[in-house]
Amino acid sequence: MFYSLRNRLFLIFTLLLTVPFLLLSIIIPSWFTSIIEQQTKDSTIEMMDQYSLYIDSITTQAEDLGKQVLVGQATQDWLKAEKEDETTTNAQKLLIKNQLKMQLSSMMINNSNNMSISIFLNDGTGTWGNNPSLQKTEWYQDFLVNDQRWMNTHIDSFQLHQEMREINLNGYLIPLFDMNMLELSGIIKVSFPSSLLETALNKIKLGENGRVYLLDGEGVNVLPGEVHTPKEVLNKSLENIKSGLKKGLVEVNHHDEE
């Protein structure tokens, strides 16, 4: 009975239906998963490229502003007046400084990213207020010792407008020097709200559990907030990036997870 034609046909049809179904139930989910994973990777890289272009536009504007201030005649006149104490009267110094302030104010009003500009001499004399502790300031020391031009988020009380003194800022530093003597006399600081970088970064979504940060070369967050990614993962990733990876993805094993 078992070898009857009906049973044989039943067995054959069962195998023909069951085996492909089992194979498809294994292959198709894996196939779909790989497709979704690749689409996610491509989408992530595209979003990062767009964010990179956005950052470039902001940082380029900050650099250009700093260079314009450095070569500006008002800046050079103020620098010379402050250095030539015996030949320049206090009234002349005040007039020259006011002319510089007017130029800086005009540049700040005309830029589109709410950037502010401050100038300090080495002794802490500044355009919007004197800072006797400038030499001890962390960002200034980092600039002198490590030539660190880009500043992580910070609060700066030496800003023209009160609202800029109370918010997180990032900034760019450029050396201040006499164009004829080429001697370091101070610093030009171009600041902009951290929210310019933070708001755009928060729009990048990496699934349900993904986290996005803007880090410096040491793995420190450039923006406000803590980095929750394990330090070991960051260090391994930074090693790969510094070894020549321009863009793309780095896979790191951590506690048996990829």
Q: Where are the domains of the chain?
A: 54-197, 213-245
In this prediction, residues 106-123 reach a mean pLDDT of 91
List beta partners, residue 176: 186
| Long-range contacts (CB closer than 8 Å, 24 or more residues apart) made by 144-153 | 148/173, 149/173, 149/174, 150/59, 150/216, 150/222, 152/216, 152/220, 152/221, 152/222, 152/223, 153/194, 153/221, 153/222, 153/223, 153/224
- Predicted local confidence at residue 58, as pLDDT: 93
With contact defined as beta carbons under 8 Å apart, do 129 and 158 qualify? yes
- Predicted local confidence at residue 5, as pLDDT: 66
Confidence bin at 77 (pLDDT 50/70/90): very high
In this prediction, residues 65-81 reach a mean pLDDT of 93
Q: Give a three-class secondary structure readout of the chain.
A: CCCCHHHHHHHHHHHHHHHHHHHHHHHHHHHHHHHHHHHHHHHHHHHHHHHHHHHHHHHHHHHHHHHHHHHCHHHHHHHHHHHCCCCCCHHHHHHHHHHHHHHHHHHHHHCCCCCEEEEEECCCCECCCCCCCHHHCHHHHHHHHHCCCEEEEECCCCCCCHHHHCCCEEEEEEEEECCCCCCEEEEEEEEEECHHHHHHHHCCCCCCCCCCCCECCCCCECCCCCCCCCHHHHHHHHHHHHCCCCCCCCCCCECCEC
Q: What is the CATH number of domain 54-197?
A: 3.30.450
Q: Please say if the pLDDT value at position 2 is more than 60.
A: no
- String of b and e for 124-162 (b: at least 16 CB within 10 Å)? bbbbbeebeebeebebbeebeeeebbbbbbeebebbbee
pLDDT one-digit tens code per residue, 150-202:
999 999 999 988 889 999 999 999 999 988 877 889 999 999 999 999 999 98
The pTM (predicted TM-score) of the whole model is: 0.81
Q: 217 CB contacts (<8 Å, ≥6 apart)?
A: 238, 242
